[in-house]
Amino acid sequence: MTRKKHKRGPVRDDDDGDEAYEATLRTLQIELVKTQRHIIRHGHKVLILFEGRDGSGKDGTIKRIVEHLSPRETRVVALGKPSDRDQTSWYFQRYVRYLPAAQEMILFNRSWYNRAGVEHVMGYCTGSEYEAFLESVVPFEHMLIESGIQIIKYYLDIGRKEQKKRLDDRRTDPLKQWKVSPVDRAALKHWEAYTEARDEMLRRTSSPLSPWIVVHADDKRSTRLNVIRDMLARIHCPDGDKHLAMPDREVVFPYDTATAKAGWLAK
C-alpha cells in the first residue's frame, strides 16, 4: 500500500484534562486487563520492546499500558549502563535473564537495540561489535519466537522540533530532571547520526517474524492510545472487543522500505 507523507498534527498538552482522552484510555486499559487474563490463563509469553529517540514518549506510553495490569505477571525492564562484567559477556546475556516465562508480559524500555542506536552513535561499541549485532539480532529473536515468546517491537518516531521542546521541558521541570543525562543532552547535536542509525536498524532488523512497528509520536496522547490499540490487535484474546483493536494506520504502521522512501520517518 502506498502511503502519503505523514503530516504531523498539533501536539496536545499532556495535562489539559481532556475527558474524551481519559475515557478512551480507560476503555482500552480495560481491554488490556482482559488480554492479560487470557495470557495468564493460557500461559502465553509476551515481550514488547520500546525504542525511539530521547523524548519520544516511551516512559509515558509504557506507564499507561501497565497502569492497571497485574504487577505479578507484568514487568518493565529499563537497564542502566552495562557493568564491567556485562561488557565482557555475550552481548544478549544481560537481557536474557529478563525474558518472560509463562503467563508474563515483559516490556523493555530500551532493549538490546541500544547497540544499534545509542552505543553506535556515541561510540560506546566498536564497528565490529555493531556489525555483529546487526547480523545476529534477527536470528536471536527468531530463536525466542520459536521457543514460544511473542515479540512486538515499537519504534517511537519524533520530529526534531518536538524533541527539542520536550528535552528543554525536562531541563526546566523539577519533576522530570531525573530523565536528563549526558546522552540526552547530546541527542539534538547528533540528530543526523541518530537518523542514519535508525534507518539502518529498521532496514536490517525488521523481519516477517519480528517486524518493527513505527509510531508517529509527536502527539503523546495519540501515541499512547494507538500503541495500546495496536497491542490489542496483535495479542490474541477471544474475549477482546475487536472494534477497539483498530489503530490509526497513519500513526502506527509496520515498517517497510516503501514507507521509509515515502518520507514517513522524521528527518
Question: pLDDT means per 10 residues in the chain (267 residues)?
Answer: 44 59 97 98 98 96 98 97 94 98 98 97 96 98 98 97 90 69 75 96 97 97 98 94 93 92 90
Residue 134 in any domain: the answer is: yes
Q: What is the predicted pLDDT for the residue at 103?
A: 98
Q: Is the dihedral of CA 43, 37, 62, 222 positive or negative?
A: positive
Number of independent structural domains in the chain: 1
Residue 11 in any domain: the answer is: no
For residue 62, the one-letter residue type is I
In total, the chain counts a number of residues equal to: 267
Cα–Cα distance measured from residue 23 to residue 43, given in angstroms and rounded to the nearest whole number = 30
C-alpha cell at 75: 514487568
Strand partners, 149: 45
**Prediction pTM value:** 0.91
Residue 3 in any domain: the answer is: no
Structural domain boundaries, residue 238 = 20-261
Q: What is the predicted pLDDT for the residue at 183?
A: 67
Residue 4 in any domain: the answer is: no
Q: What is the CATH number of the domain that holds 30?
A: 3.40.50.300
Q: What is the predicted pLDDT for the residue at 188?
A: 81
Q: What is the predicted pLDDT for the residue at 175?
A: 64
Q: What is the predicted pLDDT for the residue at 11?
A: 40
Contact (Cβ atoms closer than 8 angstroms) between residue 155 and residue 255? yes
Residue 113 in any domain: the answer is: yes
